[in-house]
Amino acid sequence: MATDHEEPQPQDDIPVPQGHEVIQAYLKTIDGSPGVYRMLDHESRVLYVGKARNLRARVSSYARPTGHSGRIARMISMTTSMMFLTTRTETEALLLEQNLIKQLKPKFNVLLRDDKSFPNILVTAKHDFPQLKKHRGAKKEKGNYYGPFASAGAVNRTLNQLQRVFLLRDCTDSTFDSRTRPCLQFQIKRCSAPCVGKISPDNYRQTVKDAEDFLNGKTTAIQSRLASEMSAASEELEFERAAALRDRIKALTQVQTAQGINPKGVSEADIIALHLDGGQACVQVFFIRANQNWGNHDYYPRVGADMDAAEVLEAFVGQFYDTREPPKQVILSNEIENVDLMADALSFKLGRKVEVLVPKRGEKADLVDGALRNARESLARKLAETASQARLLKGLAEAFDLPAPPERIEVYDNSHISGTNAVGGMIVAGPEGFMKNQCRKFNIKGEDITPGDDFGMMKEVLTRRFKRLLKEDPDRERGMWPDLLLIDGGAGQVSAVREIMQKYGVGDIAMVGVAKGEDRDAGKEEFYRTGKRPFALRHNDPVLYFVQRMRDEVHRFAIGTHRAKRSKAIGASPLDGIPGVGAARKRALLAHFGSAKAVARANLADLEVVPGVSKGMAQKLYDYFQPS
């Protein structure tokens, strides 16, 4: 169990000591217990999080005035205080360290920037004819889960292949229950139409079992059985059934061929390969499940120029599995410092043995070589894109008279229909392209805004944005503030935004309005700045294309957010807000009365006879719609 203690902070009126002398003083207060330490700067921001088998021994290594790399020396020089968490074991310390790194994002740690979850395939268990579908997130729905898959594209391809081979339904239960004739999926031979009795429950259950056997890697047995059934059908002169079985065998073979890497000796593993080049890193992860390749994903963790492969890879593995379930084997391209400790930590997390290894020869080494080649090629592409992006940002600075290429560009747009379901959208771009995890949507809330008032909407969006920035990063030291604002609009929008910026004292931020220009044609954009004449860029200028891409991206984002909000409003029902009325009761009420309006007009006696509605619930419904 971890225990936490923090030394008293220096008083503000005394010069704050920094560096190895501060660290030296802490050696008197800590012992040789395992645990986690944090190094903090003069504003109590966490610089670094580390773990140790022996806290005193590890901290003493930072107390030396010399012998450190440039990165570590800078970190020590900025340290004004430390915090310590002692744990019972070093394994606990490792798990706690990675958790804190992900929460605090310290400046001097390796940091995994992309932390999204991976999709799975779910075979549902609550229906007589199970559904095959994609699932992402917590595994709350009953059924069998298969994954993870590296991307939505990978899982969608596998689902399409499974539908071709096993003809399982992908429709929702409500759609299934309402069908009276086969849908298009049946016509194109992607579903066996169990909804209208085209296949018996026993035969459907067999195809479900076949699909799950395939996802478990038992493909040979499936092909043998299908081949036997095809021969039997031919002998019985059932040529149509034999042809259908032949097509299924052919589709199954195509699935296996399309997967590419299908290792015979590796049933369940993640292949993790690291490539470092010029202070940049790419980690390639291949997911092997049931002896099949279920896709790969590349990551670009934040690293320092003097970090070695062992440090980067250990930090990546710890953070990668902090919120994910590890497989039986984790196969690495490089040795890490604490391989046994990492294996113990992952085994503890999974509840069964996890093996962490670095193969030297054989099939596993070949798999690592393939992943390493992908990492090398991905990083080369990334560096080329970054160089191109740097040139665009430099050109943007020259075009808009900025003092330096912007590190963070925020682009804003609004979307609505006659003022209804109004939303604002913000996208962010920088040296590495679009930052998708920084996009924000703003539901327009202002009651005093006239419907369709674009100026008022933009004022509200920027007011909320600047209020948040001033609250979360008032000193502009955390990289949250934009260097450039791009507003979709002309002089009116620029004037409205400038008014808000001056109100909150942030008028030093560069801001440009992007208007469509003559005939609202792309390529004839005009740019508006406060106190300056509008101007345009050359039709073939790469900077113009860059601005158009950003403007189109925020427009797409804002419209998508607006459509989602509008669809939700259209699908809303008066029954949605009633406590105790879930999906089942809602269906029962609508089936009995025909509409939500009819439910609202119903008397108490009529409500009491609805299946699944008790007298108490009927009274609650009646009181909700008839409060008088």
Domain spans in the chain, listed from the N-terminal domain onward: 3-104, 120-258, 268-380, 409-569, 574-625
3-class state of residue 536 by DSSP: coil
* Phi and psi, residue 79, nearest 5°: -80, 125
| pLDDT the model gives residue 397 | 94
C-alpha–C-alpha distance, residues 292 and 215, integer Å: 9
Matching fold, domains 3-104 and 409-569: no
Q: How far apart are CA 260 and CA 53, in angstroms?
A: 43
Distance CA 202, CA 182 (A): 19
- The residue among 295, 272, 308, 550 whose CA lies nearest residue 434 is 550
Q: Tokens standing for 261?
A: 């890497």
574-625, CATH topology level: DNA polymerase; domain 1 (1.10.150)
Name the token pair of 170.
Answer: 């992908």
CA distances (Å), origin 348, targets 101, 257, 325 = 19, 36, 11
Q: Which residues of 451-484 are buried (b: 16+ CB within 10 A; e: fewer)?
A: eebbbbbbbbbbbbbbeebeeeeeeeeeeebbbb
pLDDT at 6: 52
Distance of CA 580 to the CA centre of its chain: 33
pLDDT tens for residues 460-480? 889 999 999 998 888 887 788
**Given the structure tokens 């590419």, which residue do they identify?**
260
**DSSP-derived pairing of the beta strands 81-86 and 46-52:** unpaired
Two tokens, residue 278: 């010029």
Dig out the tokens for 1 from the structure. 């169990």
- CB 500 within 8 Å of CB 459: yes
Whether the Cβ atoms of residue 537 and residue 392 lie closer than 8 Å to each other: no
Strand bridging mode 510-515 / 484-488: parallel
Count of beta carbons in the 10 Å neighbourhood of residue 340: 10
Over the range 222-233, which residues count as b (16 or more CB within 10 Å of their CB) and which as e?
bbeebeebbeeb
Domain 3-104: homologous superfamily in CATH: GIY-YIG endonuclease (3.40.1440.10)
Q: Which H helix or E strand runs over 393?
A: helix 362-399
pLDDT of amino acid 8: 47
Contact 501, 465 (CB under 8 A): no
Q: Which CATH class is domain 409-569?
A: alpha beta
All residue ranges of the chain with pLDDT < 70 are 1-16, 115, 219-221, 248, 251-262, 417-420, 446-452, 517-523, 565-574, 576-577, 627-628
In sequence order, what are the beta bridge partners of 134?
A: 121
Region of 408 on the Ramachandran plot (φ > 0 left; ψ -120 to 50 alpha; else beta): beta
Q: Is the peptide bond before 148 cis (omega within 30 degrees of 0)?
A: yes
Closest CA to 288 of 306, 258, 263: 263
- Tell which residue, 274, 301, 324, has the closest CA to residue 149: 324
For the chain, helix, strand, coil in percent to 5 are 45, 20, 35
**Coil vs helix vs strand at 10:** coil
Q: Given this model, what pLDDT does residue 344 score?
A: 92
> Residue 577: what pLDDT?
67
Give CA 457 to chain center in angstroms.
Answer: 29
Going by DSSP bridges, is the β-strand pair 329-332/440-443 parallel, antiparallel, or unpaired? unpaired
DSSP one-letter string for 542-606: HHHHHHHHHHHHHHHHHHHHHHHHHHHHHT--GGGGSTT--HHHHHHHHHHHSSHHHHHH--HHH
**Alpha-carbon distances of 311 from 276, 318, 337, rounded to whole Å:** 12, 11, 7
CA gap 410, 509 in Å, rounded: 11
Contact 485, 551 (CB under 8 A): no
Which CATH code of 3.40.1380.10, 1.10.1040.10, 1.10.10.10, 3.30.420.340 fits the domain covering 268-380? 3.30.420.340
> Of 338, 369, 339, whose CA–CA distance to 356 is shortest?
339
Whole-prediction pTM? 0.69
Residue with tokens 């991206």: 553
What is the identity of the amino acid at 130? P
Per-residue pLDDT at 157: 82
